[in-house]
Every structure is written in structure tokens, then in C-alpha cells.
Amino acid sequence: MKKVALVTGTTSGIGKATAVALAELGYNLIITGRRADRLETFKREIEVAYKSEVKALCFDIRNADEVKKAIDGLKDAWRDIDVLVNNAGLAVGLEPIQEGLLEDWERMIDTNVKGLLYMSRNVAPLMCARGKGHIVNICSTAGKEVYAGGNVYCATKHAVDAISKGMRIDMLKYGIKVTNICPGAVETEFSLVRFKDDKERADKTYEGYKPLTGADIANLIKFAVSLPDHVCINDLVVTPKAQANATNIFRGGQK
């Protein structure tokens, strides 16, 4: 039986690219997301292109009951999850704290923090029982520093950073690796979601420089999970060449 990888948020961006990268490594895949049509289309694409077995699970990671039902419903070898990539996450809005919308805050907290916790709480025991596995959490440079208007989004990613560190300690005696990956600017649907489908504003986020792509991050995940068993990348910060940190980007026309 091939190894099994579960990747959340695979209907676009980093999650989709990660599923492809792991299929290239020969993994069978459990892909998750809320857009059933995209999931099923992607499932067929992977099966045809890489001859991997793929299980598509459509549920909302913000709902603890749905997460538990989805993982409890896995049968036989699908329960032997070797890699969990907690990728699903988002930013919504860029207002200062005094103008923030409660629904935006709750959406970010529920997805970025609670969703990651729900997934980890249900998958980690399966790994612990087998004494092996690798959990990869997609954090952000926003988990290392803060910026104007980032307030709650930055707080959620700081939480991911802290959870990853704590998880690494908790998983030590079970032989399970934990890797925290913190990307800077990645051109995906991220800004389109943040600016609530305002494409013009979203596109301006990436003007004047070459941002990272979902495939760039997927390749780092591919590398991390391919290392010898005794080697673990704990924490990795990655940005485009033109970006030094969350607030310093040189928009000098590199594209």
C-alpha cells in the first residue's frame, strides 16, 4: 500500500499544488475542501495523471462534528495517514482593529486556528497509535510579525506558530514530525478572498515584483516530507526575493 497524505484546502492555491507534489512522490491522497465540484474534478485529474488513489472529502473544517465524522468515516488503509498538511486558511479584510468586522474575525479564527486544531485532534491519534507520521502546518510571515490592518489575521497565524511548537513537543515520544512553514507573499486566491472578490485591489498586492507560487510552497513541503526519518524541519520562513519581511517589499519591476 502506498503512503497516504491528507491535505486540507485542496480546491486552489497551495493546497492544490501540494496534493500534486505529493502525488508525484507516489502518495495516495485524501483531499478536502468545501467546493464539491472542484474537489471531484481535481480527484479525477490526479487519478489519471499520477495513478494515485484519491479520496475526496467535502466538509467544512470549521465544524468540529463534520471533521470528526469525516475522519471517523475513513476505512482500512485510509486511516493510516502518514502526512497531514494543515493548509486551509484565509485572511478576510484589512481594516484597523476599531473598524474590524466581527464576522471576518470569527471566520479567520474558526478556519485558521480552530479548523487546524480540529483536524489535528482527529488525525494525530491515528499517527500516535502507529508511532509515525508527519504534520505540516501552513503558517505565514504574519505568524512571526504584525502589520497595519493585519491585527486578527496576524493573531491567528501567531497561534499557528505557537501550536506548531507545542505540537512538536507533544509528538516527540511518538516519533511524529511537525513542520511549520511560513510563506510570505504567494499569488493564489489569498488576496481575492481578503478583499472579498475585488480583483483589481487583489492584483495590486503582487504588482512590481515576482511573488511566490503555490507550487513553490508545495515543493518545500515535498522536500520536508522526503527527508530521512531522523531529520525534521521544525520551522521554515520563505519569501520572494523581493520581500524581506511582512512590510518591506521592493516593487522595482521584477515580474
The catalytic residues are 153
**Residues forming a β-bridge with 57:** 32
d(CA 70, CA 72): 6
Sort strands 81-86 and 133-138 into parallel, antiparallel or unpaired. parallel
For 138, the enclosing helix (H) or strand (E) is: strand 133-138
Q: What angle do CA 195, 200, 201 make, to 5 degrees?
A: 40
SS3 state at 142: helix
Angle at which helices 214-226 and 13-24 pack, to 10 degrees? 40
SS3 state at 61: coil
For 159, the enclosing helix (H) or strand (E) is: helix 151-171
d(CA 129, CA 115): 22
d(CA 87, CA 199): 23
